[in-house]
Amino acid sequence: MLTSTAWKNLPLLREEIGRNGFAGLAGGIPAGRLRAMKAESLQACLQPAESVGGRRLIAFSSSTAELGASARAFLVSPEMTLFIGRLFGGEYQMTEDRSCITVYGAGDHLALHQDDPPEGCRATAIVYLRVIERADSQPSAGLHLHVWGRAEPHAGQVAHTKILAREGLVALGRGSEFWHERPPLAVGEEIVALTTCFHIVND
């Protein structure tokens, strides 16, 4: 389910998450699994995203769909569960009602927030399955996940970490502790991702 690259990078990722809240893992998913998850996600029946029942209201715009069989099998696999546990410390399971396919098109965004509820999102993973960039210009701010610290940033405060979306990249972090945001995507850009949370077993 994961490549040897993922395991080799685990100490570095742990250190980076400790320092910055989030880190990006490239090359962590075997090509066949990535293809299968991408194919089923592109066929998923999308709905305009609704507020996901958190305690805070977050401004957003995106489309979502339920996880497909291949994505679910990946996220709940013993190896992924073990990897998340080693990375974040403890025993984790995917949180069903905080995990779905999310599609961002032109203008779609997710405003500054912490993942909610914290007990359901002790660890956050964003698995990028398809990323469309504009041919003639640099990736917009929206193709980056912007991350600040544990304190709510003031207006205009620059994010200390920006993780550029790439196909196959997994952004991993403490989303319920570190403030983060996805600015609007530009025309011609698109992201299809698995956006998932993990909770601690018996938390």
Residues that bind Fe ion (CB under 5 A): 115, 175
Min dist. Cβ of residue 106 to Fe ion (A): 20
Q: Which is nearer to Fe ion, 13 or 121 (CB)?
A: 121
Q: Select from 91, 99, 104, 98 the least CA-distant residue to 203.
A: 91
Question: Cβ of residue 113: shortest distance to Fe ion, in angstroms?
Answer: 6
Nearer to Fe ion, 21 or 175 (CB): 175
Give the nearest distance from C-beta 175 to Fe ion in angstroms. Answer: 5
CB 84 within 8 A of CB 123: yes
Minimum CB distance to Fe ion smaller for 120 or for 175: 175
Nearer to Fe ion, 16 or 115 (CB): 115
The CB-of-115 to Fe ion minimum distance in angstroms stands at: 4
CB of 138 to Fe ion, least distance (A): 24
| Beta carbon nearer to Fe ion, 142 or 175 | 175
SS3 73: helix
Q: How far is the CB of 127 from Fe ion (least distance, A)?
A: 14
Give the number of other Cβ atoms within 10 Å of residue 1's Cβ: 18
CA angle 180, 37, 83 (to 5 degrees): 60
Which lies closer to Fe ion via its Cβ, residue 1 or residue 126?
Answer: 126
Task: Single out the residue of 88, 94, 91, 101 nearest to residue 76, CA to CA.
Answer: 94
